[in-house]
């Protein structure tokens, strides 16, 4: 996910620092404290004002309690409350941030939030989940129909490292008029906000990029394996690729051959990085969205098969997606 900001077209508008024009919102909620959400919520709380309040919820009570303890130990930022449900966390919030694993989780959370008894409220929901655009648009319509304000999509790039450091890049899908209202919250958790268009556009941009990443990763593994089978030194081969037309993030930053890039996951048995299960998930979502849009993806099925088969192998499961090099039988010294 860290590669997305580098690949974004110049046509996107990068925006920073609208905080001076934003409406003051002092009640926040954060739902979904997984590996990414936990760190994002921690950064958000620490950068809010002491007069603000943030209510957090996750289905895992231990995550909530652990985060509450860290927040209180830091003795800064907004007041923290633990909620008993997503509804409880969000009912009084002006800004609600969600970060959930799959489309069904997003729909389930919003089904629980948008109950008929809620009074009309002008608030904003910022969904940072990576899901399909059609589900996102469906939820956005439900929020609007319930008179609960606006729903925007803001998937992110940067991984757990970026979430921890507060250096994430967000791809925002929202009406132009909502940017000043949404951006300050996102910049508490990240470094850049790229406005991609109307609601759903952030997800479309991310999935298009990650589809390309999925293919580039396999092609890089195949090219490195091919060159080494021909007797080429992997560092010299990568050096040629990275000053030539084959250059890409998997070849230059996340090279799948151990020793070519010292900081790449290949040097630590493919541990850490962007998990192969996440790559498979994003590829699947891109394929669903492409089918709905009537876009042909000739390489998608084969690429998905590669990731699916690789993940089933014990030596590849749970590792960075560059482990497809190992799946292809690449030489490891």
Q: Write the pLDDT tens digit of every residue in 158-175.
A: 888 899 999 999 999 999
User: Shortest CA distance to 276 belongs to which of 220, 224, 332, 214?
Assistant: 214
Helix (H) or strand (E) segment spanning residue 180: helix 179-187
Q: Please determine, for residue 217, whether its predicted confidence score (pLDDT) is greater than 70.
A: yes
Residue 118 pLDDT level (bands cut at 50, 70, 90): confident
Q: Write the pLDDT tens digit of every residue in 31-43.
A: 999 999 999 999 9
Supply φ then ψ for residue 168, to 5 degrees: -65, 155
Residue 23 pLDDT level (bands cut at 50, 70, 90): very low
Q: Give the mean model confidence (pLDDT) for residues 205-217.
A: 97
Residue-by-residue DSSP string for 24-47: P--EEEEE--SHHHHHHHHHHHHH
pLDDT, residue 161, reads 86
Name the token pair of 277.
């299960």
| 3-state class percentages of the chain: helix first, strand second, coil last, to nearest 5 | 50, 15, 35
Question: Distance (Å, rounded) from C-alpha 281 to C-alpha 304?
Answer: 9
What is the chain's mean pLDDT, rounded? 92
Q: Please determine, for residue 79, whether its predicted confidence score (pLDDT) is greater than 90.
A: yes
pLDDT, residue 5, reads 42
Which residue among the candidates 42, 192, 206, 280 is catalytic per the annotation? 206
Whole-structure pTM value = 0.88
Q: Please determine, for residue 2, whether its predicted confidence score (pLDDT) is greater than 60.
A: no
Active site residue 280: no
Q: Write the pLDDT tens digit of every residue in 188-200.
A: 999 999 999 999 9
Q: Please determine, for residue 26, whether its predicted confidence score (pLDDT) is greater than 60.
A: yes
Residue-by-residue DSSP string for 264-307: SGGGGTT-SSSBHHHHHHHHHHHHHHHHHHT---TTHHHHHHHH
């Amino acid at each position: 996910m860290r590669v997305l900001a580098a690949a974004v077209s110049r046509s996107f508008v990068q925006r920073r620092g609208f905080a001076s024009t934003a409406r003051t919102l002092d009640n926040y909620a954060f739902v979904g404290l997984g590996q990414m959400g936990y760190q994002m919520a921690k950064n958000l709380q620490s950068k809010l004002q002491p007069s603000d309040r943030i209510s957090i919820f996750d289905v895992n009570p231990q995550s909530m309690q652990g985060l509450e303890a860290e927040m209180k130990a830091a003795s800064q930022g907004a007041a923290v409350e633990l909620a008993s449900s997503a509804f409880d966390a969000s009912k009084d919030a002006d800004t609600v941030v969600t970060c959930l694993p799959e489309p069904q989780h997003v729909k389930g959370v919003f089904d629980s939030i948008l109950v008929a008894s809620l009074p009309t409220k002008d608030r904003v929901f910022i969904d940072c989940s990576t899901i399909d655009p059609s589900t996102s648009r469906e939820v956005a319509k439900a929020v609007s129909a319930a008179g609960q304000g606006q729903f925007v999509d803001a998937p992110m790039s940067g991984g757990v490292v970026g979430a921890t450091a507060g250096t994430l890049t967000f791809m925002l899908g929202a009406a132009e008029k909502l940017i000043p209202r949404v951006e300050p919250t996102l910049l508490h958790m990240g470094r850049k906000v790229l406005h991609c268009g109307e609601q759903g556009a952030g997800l479309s941009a991310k999935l298009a990029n990650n589809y390309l990443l999925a293919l580039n990763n396999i092609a890089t593994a195949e090219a490195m394996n091919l060159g080494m089978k021909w007797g080429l030194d992997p560092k010299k081969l990568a050096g040629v690729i990275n000053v030539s037309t084959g250059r890409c993030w998997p070849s230059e930053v996340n090279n799948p051959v151990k020793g070519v890039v010292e900081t790449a996951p290949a040097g630590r048995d493919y541990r850490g990085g962007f998990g192969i299960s996440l790559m498979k998930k994003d590829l699947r979502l891109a394929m669903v969205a492409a089918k709905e849009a009537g876009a042909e993806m000739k390489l998608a099925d084969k690429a998905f098969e590669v990731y699916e088969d690789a993940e089933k192998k014990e030596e590849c499961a749970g590792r960075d997606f560059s482990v497809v090099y190992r799946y292809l039988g690449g030489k490891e010294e």
